[in-house]
Amino acid sequence: MRAASVRSGTARRVALIALAVLGLLAAGPGYVLWSWGAPSDDTTLVEFEIFRGTGVAQVARDLHAEGLVRDPRTFLVLLRLEGIDRRVGEGLYDLHPAMGAREVANVLRRGGRPRTVRLVLPEGSRLVDVAARLESTGLAPAGAALARLSQATTLAFAGDEVDAVDGLEGYLFPASYDVPLRDDLDAIATRFLSRFEQELDDATRARLADEGLDLHAWVTLASMVQAEAANDAEMPIIAGVFRNRLDVGMPLQSDPTVAYGLGKDLPELDFPGGDFDVDHPWNTYTRTGLPAGPIGNPGRAALDAVLAPERSDAQGRDWFYFLHGRDDDGPVFRPNLDFEGHLRDVERYLRR
């Protein structure tokens, strides 16, 4: 049964090719040669798109409509004679009107570029990191991307407005995105912001109201928690420390905010060189309250930690300090109630 089916398919294909040849003979060799020539001498590239499931006859008609082949009927015959008609796949093809029909057919034979590219934004990415990823995936030059994402704007999320004076930092939700290659930077930014808005469901809005936080404070705190935490389990305690400090007017004293304001990565901070003494809107050592804005783009775990902070120990005593250090067994995370306890942990876990 299978062999008969294969023979039947082959016979149909031979018949189609025979009909195609008869069609060419009827049209006349002079016309056929003319129709396979280049439509013009214009070498301006056209990004021609073939969608999934598009038949080869429709592809030929679309190419003719774009001025890329002279005659869709004779071009379709050429595809069948070349055995390409079954292998024209979806994707983007770079063509121009100065190509002859055979050259166009060969481009189709090689296959198209994908219409979308996968872009992954890790938790804690800064705008500069996002811009670099946009360039590495071929979506936009890093400089242009950073300039667009850094533009001051007013963000509107279903009734909530945020004056994002330093751009979209904090609101580019970490996730995997399938971005169409044709998207410009405005469309890409809209895609990121729409994904962030999905996190603002009714339950989240209710929790924000219960915690007395506006949207910008929530995202700013979450970005700090994201930058400070070594893992998700630490996040509620770190959020609790920051929330407790804000309640009593203590400086937040978060190293990543200092690094962000100076345009440095955390390991580049120079304490003896005075980095922590340089006053700027993100320096939470020289200023009390929140920094000027988010210092990165937090993930859902950090956002949730700010809405459900772990503020105290089992006896109900509030946390005000934490550190990351090491002991003989490896990395250590230590929250503390007071400065004296914090200093003891510094001696024990940091000055080894």
DSSP 151-204: S-EEEEETTEEEEETT-STT-S--SEEEEETT--HHHHHHHHHHHHHTT--HHH
| pLDDT at residue 14, rounded to an integer | 52
- Same domain (yes/no): 38, 128: no
- Same domain (yes/no): 214, 296: yes
- Same domain (yes/no): 171, 74: no
Residue 219 lies in a domain: yes
Between 200 and 21, residue with greater pLDDT: 200
Residue 325 lies in a domain: no
Residue 332 lies in a domain: no
User: For residue 2, is pLDDT > 60?
Assistant: no
User: For residue 261, is pLDDT > 70?
Assistant: yes
Where among 52, 76, 110 does a domain terminate? Answer: 110
- Same domain (yes/no): 101, 22: yes
The residues with which 323 forms a beta bridge, in sequence order, are 334
- Same domain (yes/no): 308, 212: yes
Residue 344 lies in a domain: no
| pLDDT at residue 53, rounded to an integer | 86
Residues 141, 109: Cα–Cα separation, whole Å = 30
- Same domain (yes/no): 37, 54: yes
- Same domain (yes/no): 147, 188: yes
Q: What does pLDDT average to over the chain?
A: 89
User: For residue 28, is pLDDT > 70?
Assistant: no
> Any idea how long the chain is?
352
Between 3 and 345, residue with greater pLDDT: 345
Residue 166 lies in a domain: yes
Residues 84, 298: Cα–Cα separation, whole Å = 48
pLDDT confidence of 21, banded at 50, 70, 90?
low
pLDDT in tens, 157-207: 877 888 888 899 999 999 999 998 889 999 999 999 999 999 999 999 999
Where among 110, 145, 163 does a domain terminate? Answer: 110
User: For residue 307, is pLDDT > 90?
Assistant: yes
pLDDT confidence of 3, banded at 50, 70, 90?
very low
- Considering only 3-12, 221-230, 241-250, 330-339, which range has the smallest mean pLDDT? 3-12
Residue 292 lies in a domain: yes
Number of domains in the chain: 3
pLDDT in tens, 87-99: 788 889 999 999 9
- Same domain (yes/no): 52, 155: no
Where among 133, 167, 197 does a domain terminate? Answer: 197
Domain span holding position 83: 2-110
- Same domain (yes/no): 189, 221: no
- Same domain (yes/no): 105, 137: no
Residue 330 lies in a domain: no
- Same domain (yes/no): 182, 217: no
| pLDDT at residue 181, rounded to an integer | 85
Residue 67 lies in a domain: yes
- Same domain (yes/no): 269, 207: yes
Q: What is the pTM of this model?
A: 0.75
Across the range 218-223, mean pLDDT stands at 98
Across the range 291-296, mean pLDDT stands at 97
Contact 97, 34 (CB under 8 A): no
In the chain, the amino acid numbered 78 is L
